[in-house]
């Protein structure tokens, strides 16, 4: 089993270009797994983790409801945002500047074959990172992602998640609000859940800006510990 993960920081990159790149890496792993089975080979499958920051974009998961986007095409142009219907799970979400987005493209057969455990580990990575900033991140029953003050009238989401998996290969991932302009969430019903607020790390800490590089470093540390993984020498953070 190959538990080495190649990390790439793509910087600020268009959503569609990043989605295409994810699909390319995803397909390469799938094709290698299919070849291994057909030809009775044992070639190692790679694992990837992409960090990226997107320009303003709304994405709708395959089971999502389009009515959860509350604005039309003209308003999208006005606020300099785009919209895509995509092939991950979950409903609608927003990506934009100041948000750490992570796309692990893993062959889970290198780690464990349990998609629910995979999602819980992604949540735990965020929870452990929040703890380093003195915040108590929590899970909300039946709602994937990470929240603060669950079970109170002040519950608010700080990290959204949505993944796709095929033959135990994953893509898509998480969106962690760090220095995010929360006004963009007013144009949608976040994750299709009415009456729940969103927040970001800088708002919770009362600081104008949190180092994105620092956050990514903490996330990667917890990710590799949870998955008992190592990082390749090609790290670009």
For the chain, give the mean pLDDT: 93
Q: Annotated catalytic sites, by residue? A: 191
- The band of 194, judged by pLDDT with boundaries at 50, 70 and 90, is low
- The band of 237, judged by pLDDT with boundaries at 50, 70 and 90, is very low
What is the model's pTM? 0.94
With 60 as the cut, is the pLDDT of residue 35 above it?
Answer: yes
Closest alpha carbon to 85 in 54, 61, 63, 55: 61
Helix-strand-coil split of the chain, %, nearest 5: 35, 30, 35
- One-character DSSP codes across 163-226: EEEETTEEEEEEEEESS--GGGGGGB-GGG-TT-EE--HHHHHT-S---HHHHHHHHHHHHHHH
pLDDT at residue 23 in the model: 97
Q: Give buried/exposed letters for 20-41 (b at 16+ CB in 10 A, else e).
A: ebbeebbeebbebbeeeeeeee
pLDDT at residue 193 in the model: 61
pLDDT at residue 91 in the model: 81
- The band of 18, judged by pLDDT with boundaries at 50, 70 and 90, is very high
Average the pLDDT over each of 16-30, 170-184, 189-203 and give the range with the smallest value.
189-203
Delineate the domains of the chain, giving CATH numbers in brackets: 4-229 (3.30.930.10)
- The band of 195, judged by pLDDT with boundaries at 50, 70 and 90, is low
């Amino acid at each position: 089993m190959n538990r080495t993960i190649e990390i790439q920081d793509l910087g600020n990159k268009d959503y569609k270009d990043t989605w295409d790149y994810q699909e390319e890496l995803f397909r390469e792993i799938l094709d290698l797994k299919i070849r291994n089975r057909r030809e009775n080979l044992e070639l190692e499958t790679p694992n990837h983790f992409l960090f990226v920051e997107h320009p303003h974009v709304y994405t709708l998961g395959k089971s999502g409801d389009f009515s959860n986007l509350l604005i039309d095409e003209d308003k999208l142009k006005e606020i300099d945002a785009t919209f895509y219907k995509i092939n991950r799970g979950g409903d609608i979400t927003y990506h934009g500047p100041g948000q750490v987005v992570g796309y692990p493209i893993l062959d889970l057969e290198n780690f464990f074959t349990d998609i629910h455990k995979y999602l819980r580990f992604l949540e735990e990575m965020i929870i452990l990172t929040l703890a380093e900033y003195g915040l108590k991140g929590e899970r909300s029953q039946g709602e994937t992602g990470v929240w603060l003050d669950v079970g109170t009238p002040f519950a608010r989401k700080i990290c959204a998640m949505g993944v796709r998996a095929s033959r135990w290969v994953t893509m898509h991932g998480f969106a962690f609000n760090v220095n995010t302009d929360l006004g963009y969430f007013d144009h949608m019903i976040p994750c299709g859940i009415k009456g729940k607020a969103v927040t970001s790390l800088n708002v919770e800490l009362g600081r104008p800006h949190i180092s994105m590089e620092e956050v990514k470093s903490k996330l990667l540390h917890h990710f590799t510990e949870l998955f008992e993984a190592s990082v390749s020498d090609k790290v670009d953070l």
